[in-house]
A = this chain, B = another copy of it.
Amino acid sequence: MEALFQHMERYIDLTAADKDVLSETLRLRIVKRKEHLLEEGRFCHSNYFICKGCCRLYYVNDKGVEQTVQFGIDNWWITDLVAYTSEKLSQFYLQATEAGALVVWDRRGEEKLFRRIPALERYFRLILLRAAAAEQQRSRYFSDLSGEERYHHFNRSFPEFVQRVPQYMLASYLGFTPEFLSKIRAGKT
């Protein structure tokens, strides 16, 4: 929980009272490797802050193949935002790819929190802004680079991360097949 406070304090000021309110309202969840936080066809009541660990948002296509659309690591928020905001059934799975600890932010009770700690509006505005900026960049790399270039670029940008997840998850995130990633690696290392 301390990890979340520190993250928030990068963007806003929190009083001791604010932290008490947050501690009382939010709860910690310990997850095992491969544990699901959300499955397709379920309602999504929570947004998750990753204190420690790695999660991925993925879906399963008609052929039964898992496609990862987003990764989250320490100090990121992750959830199925469509399901979370619209109260519709989720079209995604949310899974911990390694053991870790999360803070669970519940949609029910969210408004109360925003009313009690208005600075949270700002906090989420700012992290969503960062995410949107990152997404514009990613859009660009995605259309500008070939699959192979995309892999090398990602590898250079996040070398430690590439070690943390299975290749097949990374491949689908980067927009190609695991077999192709295997070839890229064979060609260069």
Which residues does A use to contact B, with CB under 8 Å? 57, 59, 61, 67, 69-70, 80-82, 84-86, 91-92, 114, 118, 121-122, 124-125, 128-133, 135-137, 139-140, 143-144, 172, 175
Contact = CB atoms under 8 A, between A and B. Distances in A.
A95 to B, nearest CB: 15
B172 A143 contact: yes
B85 A133 contact: yes
Given A125-B124, A144-B67, A136 B61 contact: no
> Which of the listed residues A70, A133, A175 has the most CB atoms from chain B within 10 Å of its own CB?
A133
A143 B118 CA distance: 38
Contacts of A85: 129-130, 133
B140 A91 contact: yes
Contact of A69 (B59, B86, B92, B139): B139
A128 B134 CA distance: 13
B82 A136 contact: yes
Given A121-B125, A131-B132, 7 more contacts: A69-B140, A69-B143, A81-B129, A121-B121, A128-B128, A128-B129, A143-B172
